[in-house]
Structure 1
Amino acid sequence: MSQNAIYNENKQFDSHNVCISTSENKIVAQSLISEKISESDNEEYNKKETESSADDKVYVCGGKYSKKFHSTSKCKGLNNCKSKIYYYDSQSAALKAGYEYCKICWK
């Protein structure tokens, strides 16, 4: 964990303003768009958001049995996700977390 972690209502955020939670030894990241954060934290988040391209993000189901990551949040492979859909900033981050490519959207 980063030394610059931010804590907010029992949730932990890293220095990039990404919510980190653990599930079955996987780390999943959730966008802070829906989180209530302070004005200064929001400015920092907006700065980071504009720096990373939406095309680089990959999506995962937050369910404890999910194993695949997807190129789009609208992939058919995510239709059965009963949990929240999270994203990683890159394919390599999802691979490092133990996810594999979805065979539907990564043809």
Structure 2
Amino acid sequence: MNDISMKSKYWIFFAVIILLFISLFFIWKSDDFLEKEPLYVAVSGPMTAANGKAMVQGIQLYLDQINQQGGIHGHPVKLLVFDDQNKPALAQKIALEIATQSDALAVIGH
């Protein structure tokens, strides 16, 4: 005699198919669940002046285009803005801060 009835076989088969679909769904959507860390770009300069604001807007516009295309290898790119108020002593302090304390991979400005 058969130990497992035909009805039990169908239920087992059905459960395996459901688990397979659930597994495939999570594999397919895994990029949505694992958000990649952002990459940072720093800009330093006299940001209180009109030229500084225009520079930040231009850089941000470019980074927005990069991010709309999927970022860099899936990582979003974010901008860190530092205002040195066109003061050499403050610019030196900010440069040291960017180098030692920020996550910036690149720096634009002086």
TM-score normalised by the shorter chain: which range applies? Answer: under 0.3
Higher relative contact order (CA 8 A, sep 6+): 2
Please report the TM-score for the alignment, with normalisation by the length of structure 2: 0.23
Which structure is higher in helix share?
A: 2
